[in-house]
Copies of this chain bind each other. A is one copy, B any other.
Amino acid sequence: MPTAGIVVIGNEILSGKVVDTNSPFLCQELRELGVDVERIVTIPDAVEVIAEHVRAMSQAYDFVFTSGGIGPTHDDVTLEGIAAAFDRGVVRSDSIVERLRRATGEEPNESQLKMAQIPAGATLLDSGDLWFPLVVVDNVYAFPGIPELLRKKFQSSRERFRGIPFVLKRVFVRLMESEIAEDLHALLCEYPDLLLGSYPKIREESFRVLLTLESRDAQYVQEALDSLLARLPEDSVARVE
């Protein structure tokens, strides 16, 4: 199954000025596609730090998604960092300069030309959604940090990441987590490949714990669900979805 790592780049997130909504979006979308996100790291706008994390993730996972740092200002250094991760330089892309001209109807200024500086040998993916392409180096995809733009770019490239999706069952339980923990442990002994989540909720009236059962094998999940429901005390299950 494909695996992925996400690198969120931006001082504004570490300093609490902006809440990162891109990594939750990517996690949800990738889960639906059947891709396992194994790591998210949030780092400052610093070339060496970006290079270090992109290099490590590129080696560890099938896909790496970066978010942020690809605009025209002083703190937009993601593409430089990705280039450094692969020991490459950055070069001016004539194709992007041409798109800039078409998009603005003018000769690009120095700052706009900065956006045409991409890692040597990068692939440009076009999908007609926005004036700029998605820049890809090896297995690393450089997404923009502005949430609306990231979503557009992801939607137009998502099919290339598809794996085998998970089947998810949710069980809402009226008991405390500590009252059912032993049942969950026994369930996992019987179904060791089950992905079992247990999430206590406070301020909920109809249930106290949400259990999630997941596998890529629909029959396995159904059998585990039946086994769980047989284990739990009568009347303790509020509902199953």
Residues of chain A at the chain B interface (Cβ within 8 Å): 8, 11-20, 23-24, 27-32, 36-44, 71-75, 109-112, 114-115, 146, 148-149, 166, 177-179, 181-182, 184-185, 188, 195-200, 202-203, 212, 214
Contact = CB atoms under 8 A, between A and B. Distances in A.
- How many copies are assembled? 2
A14 B41 CA distance: 11
A178 B112 contact: yes
B195 A72 contact: no
B12 A177 contact: no
Given A42-B39, A72-B177, A178-B112, A197 B27 contact: no
A70 to B, nearest CB: 11
B197 A17 contact: yes
A65 to B, nearest CB: 13
A107 to B, nearest CB: 12
Given A40-B41, A146-B200, A148-B202, A177 B16 contact: no
Contacts of A75: 196-198
22 contacts: A8-B40, A11-B195, A12-B199, A13-B24, A15-B31, A15-B195, A15-B197, A15-B214, A16-B28, A16-B30, A16-B32, A19-B24, A39-B42, A40-B40, A71-B198, A73-B181, A74-B184, A74-B196, A110-B181, A111-B181, A112-B178, A115-B178
**Listed residue (A14, A146, A166, A188) with the most chain B CB atoms within 10 angstroms of its CB:** A14
A44 B38 contact: yes
B199 A18 contact: yes
A23 B12 CA distance: 13
Contact of A202 (B29, B36, B146, B184): B146
A55 to B, nearest CB: 16
B74 A185 contact: yes
